[in-house]
Amino acid sequence: MKRCVIITGGTLDLDFAGNFLKNHSFEKVIAVDAGLKQAEALGVTPDLIVGDFDTVDPEVLARFRAMEHMMWDVHQPEKDETDTELAVTTAVRAGCRELVILGALGGRFDHALGNVHLLYYGAKLGAEASILDSRNRITVLTEGRTFRREELWGKYVSFLPLTMEVKGITLRGFKYPLTKKEISIGPCLCISNELAAEEASITFDQGVLICVESRD
């Protein structure tokens, strides 16, 4: 499966990101607007730079502009898509089916929330997308999933509805199990669950869920 990492301009723990990139390989690296500063700090040379460049430090932008053979996808600030959305679309069109987005949280909350919604956009395009930081791994579920303790990002697993309702949720192997439960936007029934076994699973009949694996 062809993999892409997208580096955006939100809050990013450089120690975490550096270690993560050292231990994981990607066929494509895309830097998004102010994410250029993050890429430079990490010593990463992107395969593609995407954005309208209204938030990136001009000096950082100038240094990348001076690099020969750098590929650019430049847009006007007055556009319908966010820069990160453009990067997701570009990555999928390039054949990437696993997307990891770094620097997508922190900063402006509207962009952070929009980036979570982009995970579902990626799923609709046929890609498995996730947002990572030092404490969280965020994905969306359009179908059931099995969780293994040794693969979890942290101790806690939470599920929040992305659609108005999610019906028929069954949790097995969790500390707080459920059977054919319906949840809706508003109450927080499925926050901070934990695995009670080495494996746990979720199944559901209808809807879309945000899944957050996290640590304190």
The Cα 213–Cα 159 span in angstroms is: 9
Is pLDDT above 90 for 70? Answer: no
Is pLDDT above 90 for 79? Answer: no
Mean pLDDT, range 3-8, rounded to an integer: 97
The Cα 196–Cα 141 span in angstroms is: 21
What pLDDT score does 174 carry?
98
Is pLDDT above 90 for 99? Answer: yes
What pLDDT score does 170 carry?
98
Buried b (16+ CB within 10 A) or exposed e, 58-90: eebbeebeeeeeeeeeeeeeeeeebbbbbbbbb
pLDDT: is 62 or 210 the higher one?
A: 210
Cβ 167 vs Cβ 204: under 8 Å: yes
Mean pLDDT, range 57-63, rounded to an integer: 89
Is pLDDT above 90 for 163? Answer: yes
| Averaged pLDDT of the chain | 94
pLDDT: is 74 or 203 the higher one?
A: 203
Mean pLDDT, range 200-212, rounded to an integer: 98
Mean pLDDT, range 66-86, rounded to an integer: 88
Mean pLDDT, range 14-25, rounded to an integer: 96
What pLDDT score does 108 carry?
86
What pLDDT score does 92 carry?
96
Q: Which residues pair with 101 in a beta bridge?
A: 6, 131
Is pLDDT above 90 for 54? Answer: no
pTM: 0.94
pLDDT, one tens digit per residue, over 104-141 is 998 889 999 999 999 999 999 999 999 999 999 999 99
What pLDDT score does 107 carry?
80
